[in-house]
Structure 1
Amino acid sequence: MCTREPRRRALEETILYFHDIELETGKIDSAPAISRTYAWTVFALTLGLLLSDYMSRQVLNAVFPLLKTTWALSDTQLGSLSSIVALMVGVLTFPLSVLADRWGRVNSIALMAGLWSLATLGCAISTSYGEMLVARAFVGLGEAAYGSVGVALVLSVFPAHLRSTLTGAFMAGGAFGSVLGMALGGGIAAHLGWRWSFGSMAAFGLLLLIVYRIVVTEKRLARLRAEVSVAAPCKPGVRLSLRLLVQGLFASRSVVCAYVGSGLHLFVPAALFAWMPSYLNRYYAMTPGSAAVAASGFVLLTGLGMVVCGMLTDRISRAVPVRKWITAIAYCMVSFAVLGTAFRLHAGALQLVLIGIGMFVSAGASGPSGAMVANLTPSSIHASAFATLTLANNLMGLAPAAVLTGMIADRIGLLGTLQIVPIVPLVGAIAFFAGKRSYAKDLRRLSATRDQPTPR
């Protein structure tokens, strides 16, 4: 008890500090008053850039067979070209998101989109594996903080009760972008060559960036808030010490479990996004173009599943918040059971059906995880909180998935590797179960602390 009391007091002081910030900046309102049409416009354009983000990232997977032949690459090298992006995102997402909280989210988004688009153009003109690896690293640098900053911007203009739905829908944009990147990239490569696949993705990103920069600005968001709300307009940045920031980000055991569970459960979809075109090419004798289009269908199912699972979670947990954890656990368990069974069957229709079902729920815990993190951290540092979530997603799931799958596949074959991969979300389910046990208590403690008189 002696060691817990100082921690409890420190946590309460941190929450009160953030509560004070939110009162002063007008960020405490759970349903920001803003033009509904403009809010959805911001959502659509921010989601559009996320599509560009993942189109630039996943177009590589569509041309894996072509690059393997052109440069005589091993599966490990192919996997590294995919994983280097997620690794850069994982390493840089937190510091860049903290900077975005201070510099302004819209300006940061514009800079990031420009960088990943130009880096994708660099992939198009690469002449060797080394050059491609460097260009892919810069793609990751540009994309590093986009997911966390983008979702924080979206959540800031919608009511709190839509958080699972919006987070799931926004993160599903990554799956839809992957679909477009793989399908369009495979089709373009089949007719014009793989370099044009990268060039087309770069052009799309730059054109959308121009539209975004014209329509969405920090000043316009602030002006609209001031016009339609009695609350003070939001300030573009919040400056605080690193100690207080870390305390706010890791304020409870349940939020740590949300970070860990989310990261682990994304290992499976990341591995399958990268390797499904190669799997269909090798075990179903599809051409690279046909395999990319077919694989994009499975990725589309993953995106649809993220939206449906997020909406289902909001409906189930609206009256009982702890049910968010139950749904996250269920999605992980179904993914483990169905995909584990699918890859032990012979190639055929039944296997493909089970793979589709498994991929539908494989990223279903993304929406609940985002809602948990948003509920357990102060809104004034949501970009940093989602950066921490993105860090966990990348370092535990997205970054190692492709390259580890490739390394193991070089030794036991791709099929044998994909039979092992579905075990990872089972570990994620254990993390979610641990978080569920303290979630209600942590929410009550946070709520009680916020209700205390703010010290002056």
Structure 2
Amino acid sequence: MGLAVADHDKAEELAPPTRLSGIYPWVVFVLTFSLMLSDYMSRQVVSAVFPILKSEWDLSDAHLGSLTGVVALMVGMLTFPLSVAADRWGRVRMLVASASLWSVATLFCAFADSYGQLLVGRFFVGVGEAAYGSIGAAVVVGLFAPRLRASLTGAFMSGGMFGSVAGVALGGVIAVNFGWRWAFGAMAIIGLVLVVAFRSCVNERRLALHQHPDDGLQTPSDAGDVRVPLSSLFKGTSVISAYVGSGLQMFVGGALMTWLPSYVNRYYALAPDKAALMASAFVLIIGIGMIGCGMISDRVSRVDHSKRWTASIVFCLASAVLLFAAFSLEPGALQMILLGCGAFFAAGIAGPAGAMVANLTHASVRASAFGTVTLANSLIGLAPGPVVAGALADRVGLNGALQIVPVASVFAAIALIIGKRYYAAGLKRLSALTQNSIDDQKVSTR
């Protein structure tokens, strides 16, 4: 009897830990989403104080633009390498370090006495924010069933939209009532409080305990700490098509977010402040669409995950048709309705694309995979979209340019059609790669 008890105790000791309360993954999601809000609030608050800085320091528009451009530059340059580092050294550690850096850098901005000092502060804000989105998404998707991945990824990424609006709106109110330095200070305090809350509740061990078992579809139980080559992120037509399709659709979203304030100002004869307010409503719709399209995608793909590709194709084509129709109409109520519907789908691929890439890549390089999506979104979509739209506007007018921009959605749909065709082959390639890594690990440990 005593021997049986001892054997039972030993078996329990060696058994893998069971998952704990289902509430914890949602706590992690809320905290990670809140930091995503803080990320974009700190990023965009500077836009709210442009008029004050221009007057107080006699800055040119080029100087003001550089205060936002330097952040985007750092994000573009560092997203992928920092995502890779997070996969190697610990995602929680990197998230805490990133959020701490952008919060402290934002606080530094509050004490800046010159344009040069403010630019340095914004530089480090960009360094801190560079890979937060990709690492945060990787943390979130590993805690939930694959059938929820598109919804959760879309909801998480929508924090960027909501945070942008909140940063500008709240920053403007604080700057007018308490001074521009307090606008930066408030964003820094919010970030630092959230860092403390996140670090108190989240660590690698607890994340491992709550890792969803379905994430092990790619990692058999005898795999141990299996790692696959980083080059696997770029192998296979399907995963590359997901990167390209996502980037092309974000081309449309980036152009809309940048040029809608000017469009409303020019074609509806609204003052800049009222035009910005109306445009912000469409940015919120884009964010809501990221959540809604993710939920729709998960709903239709409960049984067959390949239907997530079909849903994404429909989102892209709906965006193309609705936006082209909207900008083909004269300004008015009907145009606003169609524009709102088109905006809903404009970035709707964010959640499904993240879920598709997650299904096609190994869990050990998940943050790197999301970093690659972010890089594709930036290089193919968010960076060139506003520039190309502006160049077209110089030739055919802003309305004409925004009629042409939705063509990118058609090309995005074509890329996704190709990706869907090779999806099954991509899953088989991932399974074989995982098994090869397991075999190599077994050989190396003999």
TM-score, structure 2 as length reference:
0.81
1:341, distance to aligned residue in structure 2 (A): 3.0
**CA–CA separation in structure 1 for the residues paired with 2:281 and 2:255:** 15
Cα distance change on mapping 1:402 and 1:190 into 2, 3 Å: farther
Cα distance change on mapping 1:397 and 1:82 into 2, 3 Å: farther
Counterpart check, 1:374 vs 2:358? yes
Asked if the contact 2:40–2:163 (Cα under 8 Å) also holds between the matched residues in 1, the reply is yes
Superposed CA deviations along residues 142-174 of structure 1, whole A, max 9, x for unmatched, are: 111111111111112212221111111111222
Structure 2 SS opposite 1:346: coil
Counterpart check, 1:443 vs 2:431? no
**CA–CA separation in structure 1 for the residues paired with 2:395 and 2:53:** 20
Structure 2 SS opposite 1:313: helix
Counterpart check, 1:184 vs 2:170? yes
Which residue is equivalent to 1:99? 85
**CA–CA separation in structure 1 for the residues paired with 2:393 and 2:114:** 23
Q: Indicate the structure whose relative CO is greater, using CA pairs within 8 Å and at least 6 residues apart.
A: 1
1:362, distance to aligned residue in structure 2 (A): 0.6
Q: Aligned AA for 2:254?
A: A
Gaps of 5+ in 1: 1-25, 226-231
Counterparts of residues 127-142 of structure 1 (less than 5 Å): 133-142=119-128
**CA–CA separation in structure 2 for the residues paired with 1:378 and 1:100:** 15
Counterpart check, 1:355 vs 2:339? yes
Asked if the contact 1:187–1:289 (Cα under 8 Å) also holds between the matched residues in 2, the reply is no
Counterparts of residues 287-366 of structure 1 (less than 5 Å): 287-366=271-350
Q: Aligned AA for 1:376?
A: L
Which residue is equivalent to 2:151? 165
1:370, distance to aligned residue in structure 2 (A): 0.7
**CA–CA separation in structure 2 for the residues paired with 1:84 and 1:337:** 35
Counterpart check, 1:271 vs 2:255? yes
Comparing 438-447 with 130-139, greater Cα deviation is found at: 130-139
Paired residues, what number?
A: 417
Please provide the CA RMSD for this pair.
3.5
Asked if the contact 2:297–2:352 (Cα under 8 Å) also holds between the matched residues in 1, the reply is yes
Superposed CA deviations along residues 165-190 of structure 1, whole A, max 9, x for unmatched, are: 11111112222212322332344445
**CA–CA separation in structure 2 for the residues paired with 1:115 and 1:396:** 28
1:292, distance to aligned residue in structure 2 (A): 3.7
1:79, distance to aligned residue in structure 2 (A): 5.6
**CA–CA separation in structure 2 for the residues paired with 1:398 and 1:303:** 15
1:128, distance to aligned residue in structure 2 (A): 6.5
**CA–CA separation in structure 1 for the residues paired with 2:38 and 2:50:** 19
Structure 1 SS opposite 2:244: helix
Counterpart check, 1:112 vs 2:98? yes
Cα distance change on mapping 1:72 and 1:454 into 2, 3 Å: closer
Gaps of 5+ in 2: 1-15, 212-218
Asked if the contact 1:119–1:135 (Cα under 8 Å) also holds between the matched residues in 2, the reply is yes
1:344, distance to aligned residue in structure 2 (A): 3.9
Asked if the contact 1:186–1:290 (Cα under 8 Å) also holds between the matched residues in 2, the reply is no
Superposed CA deviations along residues 300-358 of structure 1, whole A, max 9, x for unmatched, are: 21111111111111111222222211211221122222223323433332332222111
Which residue is equivalent to 1:249? 233
Which residue is equivalent to 2:134? 148
Q: Aligned AA for 1:162?
A: L
**CA–CA separation in structure 2 for the residues paired with 1:307 and 1:352:** 21
1:115, distance to aligned residue in structure 2 (A): 1.6
Give the share of equivalent positions with the same residue, in percent. Answer: 55
Asked if the contact 1:149–1:387 (Cα under 8 Å) also holds between the matched residues in 2, the reply is yes
Superposed CA deviations along residues 395-419 of structure 1, whole A, max 9, x for unmatched, are: 2222333455556667776555434
Q: Aligned AA for 1:322?
A: S
Counterpart check, 1:45 vs 2:44? no
Q: Aligned AA for 1:206?
A: L
Counterpart check, 1:433 vs 2:422? no
Asked if the contact 1:102–1:238 (Cα under 8 Å) also holds between the matched residues in 2, the reply is no
TM-score, structure 1 as length reference:
0.79
1:428, distance to aligned residue in structure 2 (A): 1.8
**CA–CA separation in structure 1 for the residues paired with 2:437 and 2:44:** 50
**CA–CA separation in structure 2 for the residues paired with 1:212 and 1:301:** 28
1:72, distance to aligned residue in structure 2 (A): 6.4
Cα distance change on mapping 1:60 and 1:162 into 2, 3 Å: same
Superposed CA deviations along residues 268-302 of structure 1, whole A, max 9, x for unmatched, are: 22233334344444544445544443332212211
Asked if the contact 2:227–2:364 (Cα under 8 Å) also holds between the matched residues in 1, the reply is no
Superposed CA deviations along residues 99-127 of structure 1, whole A, max 9, x for unmatched, are: 11222111111111122223334455566
Asked if the contact 2:87–2:368 (Cα under 8 Å) also holds between the matched residues in 1, the reply is yes
**CA–CA separation in structure 1 for the residues paired with 2:125 and 2:328:** 35
Structure 1 SS opposite 2:422: helix
Q: Aligned AA for 1:345?
A: L
What is the aligned counterpart of 2:186 among 193, 200, 203? Answer: 200
1:447, distance to aligned residue in structure 2 (A): 4.2
Larger Rg, first or second structure (1 or 2): 2
Asked if the contact 1:87–1:395 (Cα under 8 Å) also holds between the matched residues in 2, the reply is no
1:386, distance to aligned residue in structure 2 (A): 1.1
**CA–CA separation in structure 2 for the residues paired with 1:249 and 1:65:** 44
Structure 2 SS opposite 1:373: helix
Superposed CA deviations along residues 219-274 of structure 1, whole A, max 9, x for unmatched, are: 4435677xxxxxx9x9xx97968xx211x212311001111111121122223333
